[in-house]
């Protein structure tokens, strides 16, 4: 177990009901954690074995007929660290137990269906941790800012998302929604750092700067989306993400707490253990 | 870089052309590696950063229009360590860059198609490392031993596999085929260990012992499959796997060498770097 009590962190990050003002949330803070970068990195490493154990229990539960899954939804502006979170935090557990989906602009086939069609197809099988790098929320974020759908359709989607997530929750999925919250200044620094490093040019897309120029519209779209879809069964968390170590620790802790809440033991044998041992110890020479 | 020269390892594990006698290959050996368990575990950890760097280059290449992928095929008797390899070795790289598929007994829908149908669907997208935990080889292994298909159909499959793998290779995929080779005595020990540990019962399946009783038939089916499908473009490796640390190091090294052979630099920017820097430094206040 971690030397730092992390229980405060999850509740600190949970967005309360009602309107949300993102500009009032310090992107450089470390709410619920009383330590520096070194402490935070150590605390995440400390979480690793626990996370791996809890993930394996979930996997075992799925094999034994359980219906539980985790769905971790990562949203945030470009460079907010969705990829880094996957590497540093999701990378702490067995890759067999994780199903990662990165959503890009929808294909023509995907656009021909309801916006939740491709999302539903990407849901994790029982026993797995599903991670969405971007998600159905793009359909009320970029779709709203760029007017990719009529206002009435955008409006409809908030309710459709709530109904869809409620159904998931009822089926045994714990939905953890996270907005990785960086400042515009931090994004600028990260984009410039990509430009300054030849080995990072492939990560840079001039289109990201076009989106950046719409920063206030995106912040507003996030505020609306978070307020409208911040339900008890699928709550939102805003993660201050200027500090990469805090972002990683925060997501790791949310994952840990969600897995712990399943309170899973190990599946009981559905066979006669003594008989199986006998079969092996008494076996005739093979062949 | 590793303190141990590992280059010998890949060539030692490569199965030479012609008939193969698995009983002549020591399952407890560590060919090509002159060190003990501690050295082997350290050598694998040393490989980690290199592996992660090479995997990221492959991923970047895929984003930039490259066609390369890796397909790592893991085969072996139950308890031979396919899952452990995934955790310990594949877990060293970014989970976003890996696509793992575990093949079970085919579903009725899958059985209605050619045996390669479901395999083709599971191929990794460009830029990714695909890992098959079991594979199309089950269709000439258990299918042969259990007579799940007529002999003529089994016979046809070796050629079909070679043609299919040759096409993959021509499209830019490096196919790495590994048989994790354990002794029957080691398997017995591992099965008994699962029975002795309540937290491992979920991994135990009485059916595994039914298959174990057909050990010689399986070894023969492996020998035939390996000989018939051991091509230059998709060669087989037999990995002595009684020592878990050696198994992990061996697969890590094969993966490392395959990625190195792509000799990938970082993609060049397809935009004007100076102009993009200017856009960011000269930008008007956002909003």
Cβ atoms B27, B181 nearer than 8 A = yes
Considering only the beta carbons, identify the residue of A198, A267, A286 that sits closest to B201. A267
Considering only the beta carbons, identify the residue of A64, A100, A269 that sits closest to B95. A100
pLDDT tens digits, B172-230: 999 999 999 999 999 999 999 999 999 999 999 999 999 999 999 999 999 999 999 99
- Chosen from B104, B188, B202, B217 to mutate, greatest number of chain A CBs within 10 A: B202
ipTM of the complex: 0.93
**Residue in this structure with the two tokens 């500090």, named with its chain if needed:** A243
Q: Inspect the interface and report whether the beta carbons of B102 and A87 lie closer than 8 Å.
A: no
pLDDT tens digits, A74-109: 999 999 999 999 999 999 999 999 999 999 999 999
- pLDDT score of A4 more than 60: no
**Residue in this structure with the two tokens 């600190």, named with its chain if needed:** A12
**Residue in this structure with the two tokens 């993102």, named with its chain if needed:** A22
Considering only the beta carbons, identify the residue of A91, A201, A276 that sits closest to B267. A201
Task: State both tokens at B102.
Answer: 């575990």
- pLDDT score of A7 more than 80: no
Half-sphere exposure of B189 (CA within 13 A, CB side): 8
Q: What are phi and psi of A239, to 5 degrees?
A: -105, 110
Q: Inspect the interface and report whether the beta carbons of A215 and B279 lie closer than 8 Å.
A: no
DSSP A229-273: H--SSS-EEEEE-SSHHHHHHHHHHHHHHHHHHH---PPPPSS-H
- pLDDT score of A197 more than 80: yes
Tell me which residues of chain B, numbers 207 to 266, contact chain A at a CB-CB cutoff of 8 Å: 209, 212-213, 215-216, 266
Which residues does A107 contact at the CB level (< 8 Å), separation at least 6? Answer: none
Cβ atoms B83, A97 nearer than 8 A = no
Considering only the beta carbons, identify the residue of B203, B273, B286 that sits closest to A195. B273
A279 touches B: beta carbon within 8 Å? yes
Which residues does B178 contact at the CB level (< 8 Å), separation at least 6? Answer: B72, B73, B74, B75, B76, B236, B237, B238, B239, B250, B251, B254
Report the percent of chain A where pLDDT is more than 70. Answer: 97
Tell me what the mean pLDDT of segment B222-246 comes to: 98
B188 touches A: beta carbon within 8 Å? yes
DSSP letter, residue B274: H
The domains of chain B, with CATH numbers, are 7-281 (3.40.50.300)
SS3 state at B91: helix
- Torsion angle, CA of B214/B74/A267/B92, rounded to 10 degrees? 150
Cβ atoms A82, A187 nearer than 8 A = no
Cβ atoms B148, B208 nearer than 8 A = no
Task: State both tokens at A265.
Answer: 């033991």
Q: pLDDT value at position A3?
A: 42
Q: Which residues in chain B have Cβ-Cβ distances shorter than 8 Å to A283?
A: 188, 212-213
């Amino acid at each position: 177990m971690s030397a730092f009590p992390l229980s405060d962190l999850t509740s600190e990050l949970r967005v309360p009901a009602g309107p949300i003002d993102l500009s009032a949330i310090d992107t450089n803070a470390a709410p619920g954690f009383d330590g520096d970068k070194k402490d935070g990195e150590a605390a995440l490493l400390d979480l690793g074995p626990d996370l791996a154990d809890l993930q394996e229990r979930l996997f075992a539960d799925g094999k034994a007929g359980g219906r539980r899954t985790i769905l971790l939804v990562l949203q945030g502006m470009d460079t907010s660290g969705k990829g880094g979170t996957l590497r540093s935090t999701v990378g702490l557990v067995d890759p067999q137990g994780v199903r990662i989906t990165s959503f890009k602009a929808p294909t023509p086939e995907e656009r021909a269906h309801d916006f939740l069609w491709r999302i539903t197809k990407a849901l994790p099988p029982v026993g797995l941790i599903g991670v969405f790098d971007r998600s159905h929320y793009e359909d009320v974020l970029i779709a709203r800012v760029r007017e990719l759908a009529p206002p009435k359709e955008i409006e409809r989607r908030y309710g459709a998302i709530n109904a869809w997530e409620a159904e998931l929750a009822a089926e045994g999925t714990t939905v953890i929604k996270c907005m990785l919250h960086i400042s515009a200044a931090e994004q600028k620094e990260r984009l410039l750092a990509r430009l300054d490093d030849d080995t990072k040019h492939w990560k840079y897309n001039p289109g990201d700067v076009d989106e950046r120029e719409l920063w206030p519209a995106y912040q507003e779209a996030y505020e609306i989306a978070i307020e409208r879809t911040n339900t008890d069964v699928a709550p939102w968390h805003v993660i201050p993400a200027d500090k990469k170590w805090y972002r990683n620790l925060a997501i790791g802790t949310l994952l840990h707490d969600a897995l712990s809440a399943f309170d899973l033991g190990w599946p009981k044998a559905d066979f006669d253990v003594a008989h199986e041992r006998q079969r092996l110890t008494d076996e005739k020479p093979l062949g």
